[in-house]
Amino acid sequence: MAVNLFKGKRIWNGLKFVWPLLLWAFLYRNILLARAPVFPETFYIYSIVRFVLDNLCSGVFPLWNPYLLWGVPIQIFLTYIGIFNPAWGAMLLLKLGGVDSYQAFMCAAFGYFLLGQFGVYFLARALLKDGRAAYVAFLLSLFSSAGMTVGIQYHMVLLFVPVVWLAFFLCRFYQKGSARYVLGAVFCSVLILTTYLPLYAAVVFSWAALALLLTCPSVLIIFWRGCRSFALRNRLLTAGVTAAVIFSALPGLLAYRSVHRKEVVVPFRHQGSRVFDQGLAYPDYAAFTDGALAARMSLRDFYADLNELNYGNEGILYLGGWAFLVLLLSLPNRVTRRGLFLAVFSVLIAFLALEKATPVHKFLFQHIFVFRLTQHAFF
């Protein structure tokens, strides 16, 4: 009887994820079935991935794309899509199985997105140590507008997924100190470092470290001691994973060097000869924050014309009203260090997300060169 109850519990644990996924798939059915077009950014990624996979299927590893701007090196585009991402391996298998290239891309793209949603669940469960709270976090993330990033700005998914899983592996390593979590963290780090926009991840984890320093610095001390102890006990493994991370960071470091030397320029972000003075870095704060969250900062603007969302952050950053209901229900709970950390971390991230609506982001833009390259570490 006990065995049957155990099996029943396992079935329920599986079903509680099945029904929201089915509902989610129904809501996104037109995009999933390739009936609705995707926005240029996602289609642009599709064109790069298809070009690379078509060449690989022909036994050629492409180093040059003759169809763009009369011919350009392909390496920069491999960085844009994250050439080591397992999602493209899944797309290749689907293509070899006879699935249409575009349909294979959409299946792989949405499958990778869902992998990130399960990362949210496991991260919340490891951090909150509450299965019900983790399940609510999964639902909130799944039914937010994060899914629209697949059809609008897929490079956000390419960064979001490894960042979430990296946070999970770091959290579990802090709790368990196991080698498998180290390997998982290194794999996610490699994906981040070899994909477009890695500096976003650096900013997020730096802000998390700052929030820990302000709320519970003992966690950082224990984590450091755990890393040191693990490195001393596993010297060979530590050397191997350190080398992997360093080699993965080399393309980004070389690109940063080229940008700093002004060897790479993008004229449409500058005016006249300033392109030769500034290189790739944004010279103007207004251009950098174009289309940011702060575009609608009055109540009248915020709730106006919502039936005609413009291309930009309006259409892809949305959290359902019931998320705020959950937040209100949590107010009577007692304050804990974990809750205080999450609150401080959320406030710090909000200061950056609001950009020109607060002085924090502009100060960082003016005084820290990296923040003028946050969007374009490889371009």
Specify whether the CB–CB gap between 374 and 202 falls below 8 A: no
- Give pTM, 2 decimals: 0.85
What pLDDT tens digit does each residue of the chain (379 aa) get? 444 544 556 676 778 899 999 999 998 888 888 777 777 778 888 888 898 888 888 888 888 888 877 777 777 778 778 888 888 889 989 888 888 888 899 889 999 999 999 999 999 999 999 888 899 899 988 988 788 778 777 888 888 999 999 999 999 999 999 999 999 999 999 999 888 778 888 888 999 999 999 999 999 999 999 999 999 999 999 999 999 999 988 877 776 676 667 666 655 555 555 555 555 555 567 666 665 555 554 455 555 555 555 544 444 455 566 667 777 777 777 888 888 898 899 888 888 877 777 788 888 888 887 777 665 544 4
Specify whether the CB–CB gap between 207 and 361 falls below 8 A: no
Specify whether the CB–CB gap between 24 and 143 falls below 8 A: yes
